[in-house]
Amino acid sequence: MIPRRRMLGAFVASTAGFSLSRLSVAAVLPPTPAQTAGPFYPLALPDDSDNDLIHVAGRDGTARGTVTYISGRVLDPDGRPVSGARVEIWQCDANGRYHDPRDDNPAPEDLGFQGYGQTVSAADGGYRFRTIRPVPYPGRTAHIHFKIGGQGLAGLVTQLYVAGEPHNAGDGVLNGVDVTARERVIVPFLPAPEIENNALKAAFDIVLGNAG
DSSP 8-state assignment for residue 178: -
Q: pLDDT, tens digit, for every residue of 110-150?
A: 999 999 999 999 999 999 999 999 999 999 999 999 999 99
E strand residue ranges, 12-98: 67-75, 86-90
How far is Cα of residue 39 from the mean position of the Cα atoms in its chain? 17
Burial of 95 (0-12, 13-18, 19+ CB in 10 A): middle
Domains of the chain: 4-14+31-40+48-204 (2.60.130.10)
Position 8 confidence tier, pLDDT thresholds 50, 70, 90: low
Ramachandran angles phi, psi of 135, nearest 5°: -120, 150
Amino acid of residue 71: S
Identify whether the C-beta of residue 89 lies closer than 8 Å to the C-beta of residue 144: yes
Q: Is 167 helix (H, G, I), strand (E, B) or coil?
A: helix
d(CA 113, CA 55): 6
Mean pLDDT (the chain) is: 90
